[in-house]
Amino acid sequence: MSESSVSARALENLLGDWRTGASAYAALADRIRLLALDGRIPSDSRLPAERDISARLGLSRTTVTAAYRQLRDTGYLRSLRGSGSVVTLPGAAPTLEAVPQAGVLDFSKATMPALPWLADVATLAAADLPRHLGGSGFDPIGIPELRTAIAERYAARGLPTGPEQIMVTSGAQHAIALIARVLLGRGDRALVEMPTYPHAATALRAAGARLVPVSVSATGPAEDPETRGWDETALIQTLQRSNPTLGYLMPDFHNPTGQTMPENQRERVLAAAARQGTVLIADETIGELDIDRPGTFLPFAAYAAQAPGTGGAMVSIGSVGKTVWGGLRIGWIRADRGLIRKLVAARSAGDLGTPILEQLIVTRLLADMPTILEHRREQLRAGRNHLEASIAARFPDWQIPHVDGGITAWVNLGAPVSSQLALAARAQGVLIPAGPRFGIDGAFERFVRLPFSYSPAEIDRAVDALEQAWATLLRHPLQDTGYLADVV
């Protein structure tokens, strides 16, 4: 397997504010270990030479040597002749995510349980399959009935759409990666929110993009709501000065902050992007998970009507991964016909089509989407209220902003210890991603993303574990579980 290398400068950026009350070598080892567990340093990556990282961080060579030794002793580094120190994951194949053992609560996944009636719908959909069995089964664009159902769903929400504007994909992540591969060239700039959805940033980077961040804030004075959400001035200035080829946004119930972009702001952002020729991708996979948001919001592309000339520069992404079940890998892209043709032509380099049976299941489900959303609304309301009350009671110094939809809370810990908390929580049987997983260059050490899409009992269990982890945060070395958590 080929190895990638992490430069001393890149490692410094990833480490962020890593120094804690522990000894320097132990704190450095803990942070590198977390970066490996979170996937921010891929397995089989070669770390900088000890002398290079000691010079970069202003540490003695002895300190770095001790940190590397601890990582080797615990199975996170291996020494290869001529290759230096290479990151490994104990107890897991290098390229596979380790599966948490029974009894471990995985709060790194912001997902909903499967709909209770999903199996019944799947049985009914199987009866629709025979009429598709005469073809090859390789479907690069989507079966006509599903594309029509998706288009009708957009129209019902206030965005007239035809089936020819829809391409069905194998989930939203596949859609993001395909769009990035088609629209981006190596070295092109791509605007992203900070914090952002980590896998989207990874897809943009894999296509060769240079990421240009714009901040989204979950907190601000109650009397000044304009201080929350998107930094519009910075966003528009970034569009004007950086002239990005593409912009990736989550305008409804942003993951992880839960914020919603105001309607008038959407129009201004669309107009600014159109002036620069920037194609905006609106990831709306969580967009319909409204709990009690005031007003009625249209799909993001609908606001292009108030910003002339932006129609062709808007791409929408959706899926049923958050509303129905993550195991049903169906997503879609809504775009102009020309871009849909390009995406279909480019798709075969990555995969040969979306499974027919899953498309038939989703076709049936979309007809009942209002009922599904009402069911999810009640689940999310109970989870949100329970999590907010639990955090307020148990962690009075933490800030948990109230959100009116989505599935996550972006909690401010009041101190830059998110990575340490993530390690300590693992030892208590709960997996949470550290705040920097949602940023670039080591940012967001004061934050942690907590999903409220779980049951009250599971939330109680997670909060109990966090309370224990918080109480023992500065004890070193932290007990390590060896589990690798990813973010959804």
> Residue 483: inside a domain, yes or no?
no
> Residue 456: inside a domain, yes or no?
yes
pLDDT at 95: 34
- Which amino acid type is present at position 487? V
In degrees to the nearest 10, what's the CA dihedral of 450, 422, 433, 43?
-170
End-to-end CA distance of the chain: 27
pLDDT at 486: 64
How far is residue 144's CA from residue 139's CA, in Å, rounded to a whole number?
A: 10
For residue 276, the number of C-alpha atoms closer than 13 Å in the C-beta half-sphere is 24
Q: Note whether 248 and 332 are same-domain residues.
A: yes
CATH code for the domain in which residue 420 is found: 3.90.1150.10
Q: Note whether 180 and 281 are same-domain residues.
A: yes
Q: Note whether 326 and 413 are same-domain residues.
A: no
pLDDT at 108: 93
pLDDT at 432: 94
pLDDT at 308: 57
According to DSSP, residue 399 is labeled B
CATH code for the domain in which residue 352 is found: 3.40.640.10
How far is residue 160's CA from residue 154's CA, in Å, rounded to a whole number?
A: 6
**Domain count across the chain:** 3
User: 143: domain range?
Assistant: 118-367
CA angle 61, 66, 71 (to 5 degrees): 125
> Residue 407: inside a domain, yes or no?
yes
Q: Note whether 381 and 266 are same-domain residues.
A: no
Q: Note whether 164 and 240 are same-domain residues.
A: yes
> Residue 478: inside a domain, yes or no?
no
CA angle 365, 312, 246 (to 5 degrees): 90
- Tens of pLDDT, residue by residue over 12-36, are 888 877 776 668 888 898 888 878 7
**DSSP-derived pairing of the beta strands 430-431 and 408-412:** unpaired
Question: pLDDT under 70 in the chain at which residues?
Answer: 1-4, 20-22, 38-40, 81-83, 89-102, 219-227, 305-312, 441-442, 474-486
Q: Note whether 376 and 282 are same-domain residues.
A: no
Q: Which of 169, 156, 154 is nearest to 351 (CA)?
A: 169
> Residue 479: inside a domain, yes or no?
no
Q: What is the pTM of this model?
A: 0.82
Q: What is the DSSP string of 177-228?
A: HHHHHHH--TT-EEEEEES--HHHHHHHHHTTPEEEEEEEES---TT-GGGS
What totals of helices (H) and strands (E) does the chain contain, helices first? 15, 14
Q: Note whether 172 and 317 are same-domain residues.
A: yes
Q: Note whether 218 and 341 are same-domain residues.
A: yes
Q: Note whether 386 and 349 are same-domain residues.
A: no
Residue 387, SS3? helix
How far is residue 124's CA from residue 364's CA, in Å, rounded to a whole number?
A: 9
All residues at 6 or more sequence positions from 341 whose CB lies less than 8 Å from its CB, including other chains: none
> Residue 207: inside a domain, yes or no?
yes
CATH code for the domain in which residue 20 is found: 1.10.10.10
- Which amino acid type is present at position 442? G
Q: Note whether 236 and 257 are same-domain residues.
A: yes
In degrees to the nearest 10, what's the CA dihedral of 345, 351, 353, 359?
-130
Q: Which of 395, 372, 377 is nearest to 453 (CA)?
A: 377
- Tens of pLDDT, residue by residue over 52-91, are 999 999 999 999 999 999 999 888 888 876 668 888 866 5
Q: What is the DSSP string of 265-324?
A: HHHHHHHHHHHHTPEEEEE-SSTT-BSS-SS----GGGGGGGSTT-GGGEEEEEESTTTT
pLDDT at 455: 95
Q: Note whether 75 and 18 are same-domain residues.
A: yes
